[in-house]
Amino acid sequence: MEELDLQLLCQEISKKYFHKKFHHQITYNSRLKSSGGRYILKTGNIEINPKIETILGKEVLIGVIKHELCHYHLHQEGKGYRHQDRDFKMLLREVRGHRFIERMEPYRYVYACNSCGATFYRMRKIDTNKFRCGRCRGSLILDFSSEG
């Protein structure tokens, strides 16, 4: 989807679900790695991870846009726009936006606790001498690495 199509889609979603106009810009940002999108407080613009549509599909893209529009409209109205705010949770539920999206990339490292057997998934390698199990404080071992 091109930037112009993304802008039109966002304006359409804003009118249909929020009954309000979207007056700012929505663009793709390929530097976003771990999130589907973000609302920028200072500018009022929205950035979307381009992998969302290509990997997860248009329905997920629409859900992510709804999520970011919740931040946008609540912030513009001076209401609670953060994830933990009641206003945000209620509006997100009302418009049926996505709260979480599935991972687009597999985890690279899997660690296991020597004591309780708990499993921890990580994208980055951790120092097993420095970090302990969050459940029982036991020592961790590298269980799997997808590094070649």
Q: Is 124 exposed, middle or buried (0-12, 13-18, 19+ CB in 10 A)?
A: exposed
Cα distance between residue 28 and residue 124, in whole Å: 25
- 68 is known as an active-site residue: yes
**Of 2, 47, 53, 68, which is the active-site residue?**
68
Q: Which active-site residues does the annotation give? A: 68
